[in-house]
Amino acid sequence: MSSAVTGFPAASPRNATHVVGSDLGVCPASNVAPIVFVADDDISLRESLDVLARCEGWQVVTFASPYEFLACPRASVPSCLIFALSPHNSGLEVQEQIARERAETPIIVVSRFGHVPTTVQAIKAGAVDFLVKPLNRDVLLAAVRLSLERGRVALDREMQLRDLRNCYASLTPRERKVMALVVSGLLNKQVGGELGISEFTVKAHRGQVMQKMKASFLADLVRMAARLRPAPQAIHLA
């Protein structure tokens, strides 16, 4: 096999809806192969990468443009995206959009040109690697393996955060107020004073918060609040 990613037999690209999960709706199964997404307007390269990735045991979904990738459901298994810069896809602007909207999918940027400023911008925009065509097989595979491992970590983090948000959504408005005050360091008596309720009632609400948030200790609850805080108005007193 050549060291460059060329000359592989053509393979039929798979329909994205048959491969990806339902927008991160389920936890990834350990026996489900990771997905390598490929967005490149060069059909011959898409077909070559399709065959190469399948030989490694990965699932493959190819797109003629990154916009098609953004339109498909988000993967429920570890994944990465091989994204080709092109005059037709607004280049780094699209990469930045993908990085924002699909943070769980690491990006490998490929290009026909290895200009230093472009490379630096791509890396700053979150690319795991920047590769110049023609692609070296071993270098590409190493980049994909690294990206899939990062994708696994990012997906686990996203799943945990989604579960945490669901737990928080189950709290009543009063329980959210109690949680906000408790994690700020106030004692039960002080929380009661802030909310105009008895210390006994605060304890009851606090117990419900700990149960619904699946927190064993106050320190757990504080960490959970810190993870939720980047979300707009996740922890509030209103």
Residue 99: inside a domain: yes
Among 145, 164, 183, which residue terminates a domain?
164
Residue 236: inside a domain: no
Residue 143: inside a domain: yes
Task: Give the mean pLDDT of the chain.
Answer: 84
User: Do 196 and 156 lie in a common domain?
Assistant: no
- Give the pLDDT confidence of 193-229 residue by residue, as tens digits: 999 999 999 999 999 999 999 999 999 999 999 999 8
| Length of the chain, in residues | 238
Burial of 97 (0-12, 13-18, 19+ CB in 10 A): middle
Beta bridge partners of 81: 37, 107
Position 47 scores a pLDDT of 92
Residue 60: inside a domain: yes
Residue 231 has pLDDT above 90, yes or no: no
Sign of CA dihedral 105, 106, 110, 115: positive
Provide the token pair at 205.
């609400």
Position 82 scores a pLDDT of 95
Q: What is the mean pLDDT of residues 24-37?
A: 66
Residue 1: inside a domain: no
Banded pLDDT at 169 (limits 50, 70, 90): very high
Position 117 scores a pLDDT of 82
H-run or E-run covering 119: helix 116-124
Q: What is the mean pLDDT of residues 54-67?
A: 93
- Contacts (Cβ under 8 Å, ≥6 apart) of 181: 190, 191, 194, 195, 237
Among 108, 130, 164, which residue terminates a domain?
164
Range(s) of the domain holding residue 201: 171-228
Pick the range with the lowest mean pLDDT from 19-28, 78-87, 92-101, 163-172. Answer: 19-28
Residue recorded with tokens 């493959």: 60
Burial of 39 (0-12, 13-18, 19+ CB in 10 A): buried
pTM: 0.69
Residue 90 has pLDDT above 60, yes or no: yes
- Give the pLDDT confidence of 103-152 residue by residue, as tens digits: 889 999 998 887 788 888 888 888 999 999 899 999 999 999 999 999 99
User: Do 155 and 208 lie in a common domain?
Assistant: no
Domain count, the chain: 2
User: Do 71 and 112 lie in a common domain?
Assistant: yes
User: Do 50 and 158 lie in a common domain?
Assistant: yes
Residue recorded with tokens 């994909």: 144
d(CA 42, CA 105) in angstroms, rounded, equals 22
Helix, coil or strand: residue 132 = strand
d(CA 138, CA 164) in angstroms, rounded, equals 39
Position 210 scores a pLDDT of 96
Residue 60 has pLDDT above 70, yes or no: yes
What DSSP designation does 28 have?
A: P
- Residue bearing the bigger pLDDT, 8 or 32: 32
User: Do 160 and 113 lie in a common domain?
Assistant: yes
User: Do 124 and 189 lie in a common domain?
Assistant: no
Among 144, 164, 184, which residue terminates a domain?
164
User: Do 79 and 117 lie in a common domain?
Assistant: yes
User: Do 80 and 131 lie in a common domain?
Assistant: yes
Decide: 157 and 138 in contact? Cβ < 8 Å. no
**Domain containing residue 70: CATH number:** 3.40.50.2300
User: Do 116 and 176 lie in a common domain?
Assistant: no
